[in-house]
Amino acid sequence: MKESTNVNIDPNAQEIPLLQVRDLQITFKTVNGEVNAVRGVSFDLYQGENLAIVGESGSGKSTTATAILDLLAENGRVSGGSALFNGKDLTKLSRKEMEHIRGREIGYVPQDPMSNLNPVWNVGFQVKETIEANTELRGKDAKARVIEVLKEAGLSDAGSRLRQYPNQFSGGMRQRVLIGIGMSARPKLLVADEPTSALDVTVQRRILDHLGTLTREHGTSVMFITHDLGLAAERAEKLVVMYKGQVVEYGDSKEILADPKHPYTKRLVAAAPSLASRRIQSAVESKATAGTVGDAVAVARDQAAVPTEAPLISVDNVTKIYDISQGGFKKTQFKAADNVSFKIAKGKTMAIVGESGSGKSTIAKLFLKLEDISSGTMTFDGRDVGSWPKRELLEFRRRVQPVFQDPYGTLDPMRSIGASIAEPLVTHGIGDTASNRKTVAELLEQVSLPASTANRYPNELSGGQRQRIAIARALALKPEVLVLDEAVSALDVLVQAQVLQLLADLQAELDLTYLFITHDLGVVRMVADDVTVMRQGRVVEAASTDEVFENPKEQYTIDLLEAIPGGKFEFGTSA
């Protein structure tokens, strides 16, 4: 057993794991009978050690964690095995006994801070409530501890933020609050479920550094539930790889990720985007270039070397100013986009990257005509987007379509998938019921889904399937441009790889142009021809993808690249 580098750890405590999970089995009751979601999971976690559980959606990783925390849904139960924590079997404890351990001895950082912080209570009250529930502190002592907890979680101005509400915090700040709540009682174990999946890489790095400092100081063990293999390589000593409810590999994280043995782990590692990734080559391009010695990158470079016609999209000195109310009649101006310029050639992909608040999504909204430009011009196919007549807006909408981050939020849960895909056709008065049904079947085939999917509803599909539906709907009007705003950021690496391959194939087949908004630089490496890096509303660097990744000019770009979790780790490439 490798010795931990953490402080405040009794060497003798290393002999017995803090958490021993043995042959854990979890069953859910469904209308079609019982489903064995987790089957025979076993692993150990020692004091002061970090362990990551990885796997795709449905692998059982989050179910395993919620079972240990006694937070399974009502139709779920532990049907076998044990989970010994400090010698106590958590699966055998009463609800009252478990409530005493949860929070005090086992902390929890849930995945989505917006749905796990109550929007009607201020942040200070919510942290104080947790502290009073899990410690003996009350009144002024509890309030002092609230400020201490928030400072420890990285909020330097914690005292002045107690009265603020979750909606007044950025995503990174809300995540820090949840980490503060999880660590407030100095637990022996912290379970962190996708603690940074929706955050930009620089914010992610700061939060993980804070978490690492906190847990080292208090000798806390951490169990990460994540689909980010870079995070697992960089932050966890041990790794559990789960597939279809079972553990397929378990051991030293770096050893497994550098030399995976199980076919599923090999697939995961191969699909993980990283700094070493290369531009995805579509199946169409593969056939066209079969028999040549050049790889996808060489083909892209050759194509880039050929002089092109006027760009399809041109953004010139675009500025967007918002008036922010300061109370009463006072207003201040905020520049969300400041003198932004870039060009996109037809059939190419431009990625816009940057932290939250950098202005990248603002640019997407301006181009989609969801917001008005304050100054500057955006042209599409030679026409000024800002002055596009309203009577011709339907034509613009037909040619330019968006795909957003959360397909579940953009698909009507009461409409069948077929009706959702056909909605743009109906809105634009294209075709009749019979022809639209045929078009829907063709679109489903195009995004590699069976025609029978048309009769299903959004809640019956996985996240990856829903994202394919969103792409199919965007393609219904045969657009020339797709604006993809964080379109793959919420997907597991395998599903993400499938969707990115689909986008590459569709681009080659239909000569689509992509404006790709993302904070994931590994994904940028795989899909983009050119990159525009934004910070605080301004463009700080713009060049070809290869140039930005291999020879970044600006310190901010260098910082972004260095902040990628596991960015420098060499993942195994064994077949």
Identity of the residue numbered 56: E
The pLDDT tens digits of the residues spanning 427-484 come to 888 989 999 999 999 999 988 889 999 999 888 887 778 888 989 999 999 999 999 9
The answer, yes or no, to whether residue 184 has pLDDT greater than 70, is yes
Q: Is the dihedral of CA 160, 166, 172, 177 positive or negative?
A: positive
Segment 491-509 shows an average pLDDT of 87
Q: Is the pLDDT of residue 504 over 80?
A: yes
Read off the pLDDT band of 39 (50, 70, 90).
very high
Q: What is the pLDDT of residues 293-304, one digit of tens each?
A: 344 444 444 444
Write the DSSP assignment of 187-198 as a string of letters.
Answer: -SEEEEESTTTT
Element (DSSP H or E) covering residue 67 = helix 61-68
Q: What is the pLDDT of residues 114-142, one digit of tens each?
A: 667 888 898 889 989 888 888 888 988 88
Domains annotated on the chain, with CATH: 1-105+188-269 (3.40.50.300), 113-184 (no CATH), 286-325+334-411+480-562 (3.40.50.300)
464 vs 442: CA distance, rounded Å:
19
Find the mean pLDDT for residues 9-20.
68
> Tens of pLDDT along 79-99?
999 999 999 999 999 999 998
Sheet containing 19-30, strands listed edge to edge, beginning at the edge strand earlier in sequence = 33-45, 19-30, 76-85, 88-89
Q: Which amino acid is at 539?
A: V
Q: Which of 18-27, 161-170, 477-486 has the lowest mean pLDDT?
A: 161-170
* pLDDT, position 276: 60
H/E/C letters for each residue in 224-260?
A: EEECCHHHHHHHCCEEEEEECCEEEEEEEHHHHHHCC
Q: CB count, 10 Å around CB of 440?
A: 24
* Least confident piece of the model among 106-120, 512-526, 547-561: 106-120
Contacts 24+ apart (CB under 8 A), 248-254: 250/42, 250/43, 252/2, 253/52, 254/569
The percent of residues in the chain predicted with pLDDT above 70, rounded, is 88
Long-range contacts made by residues 237-240, C-beta under 8 angstroms, separation at least 24?
237/2, 237/4, 237/49, 237/50, 237/51, 238/43, 238/45, 238/49, 238/50, 238/51, 238/52, 239/51, 239/52, 239/53, 239/54, 240/41, 240/43, 240/51, 240/52, 240/53, 240/54, 240/61
Distances (CA, A) of 354 to 89, 200, 390: 46, 8, 32
* Confidence (pLDDT) at 391: 80
pLDDT at 417 (0 to 100): 94
Q: Which of 178-182, 207-211, 402-406, 551-555 has the highest mean pLDDT?
A: 551-555
Beta bridge partners of 192: 109, 224
The residue among 4 and 23 whose pLDDT is bigger is 23
The pLDDT assigned to 322 comes to 85
List the structure tokens of 51.
């362990």
Give per-residue pLDDT as tens, 306-317.
Answer: 445 689 999 999
User: Do residues 191 and 226 touch, judged by C-beta distance below 8 A?
Assistant: no
User: Which candidate, 574, 575, 571, 4, places its Cα nearest to that of 232?
Assistant: 571
Does residue 45 contact residue 238 with C-beta atoms inside 8 Å? yes
Could you write out the three-class secondary structure of 533-564? EEECCEEEEEEEHHHHHHCCCCHHHHHHHHCC
pLDDT of residue 46: 94
Average of per-residue pLDDT values in the chain: 85
- Give the C-alpha distances (Å, rounded to integers) separating 206 from 32, 90, 234, 561: 45, 33, 14, 14
pLDDT at res. 540: 95
User: Which DSSP state fits 378?
Assistant: E
Give the pLDDT confidence score for residue 571 in this predicted structure.
82
Q: Which residue has the higher pLDDT, 357 or 486?
A: 486
| Residue 363 DSSP one-character state | H
pLDDT for 294: 41
For 266, which DSSP code?
H
**Across 356-365, average pLDDT:** 87
Assess whether pLDDT exceeds 80 at residue 229. Answer: yes
**Residue 289 predicted with pLDDT over 60:** no
Is residue 341 within 8 Å of residue 317, measured between CB atoms?
yes
Q: Tokens representing 449?
A: 């889904």
Mean pLDDT (whole number) for 235-257: 95
Residues 238-254, mean pLDDT to the nearest whole number: 96
Token representation of residue 513: 């142009």
- pLDDT tens for 140-157 read 888 888 888 888 777 767
pTM of the model: 0.78
Task: Tell me the average pLDDT across 277-291.
Answer: 59
Sheet holding 50-54, edge to edge: 106-109, 189-193, 221-226, 50-54, 238-243, 246-252
Using CA of residue 107, residue 108, residue 114, residue 116, what is the dihedral sign? Answer: negative
Residue 9, pLDDT score: 42
How is residue 532 written in tokens? Answer: 């525009």
**Beta-bridge partner residues of 85:** 19, 88
Amino acid at 388: W
Measured CA to CA in angstroms, residue 395 lies from 53, 432, 514 at distances of 48, 19, 18
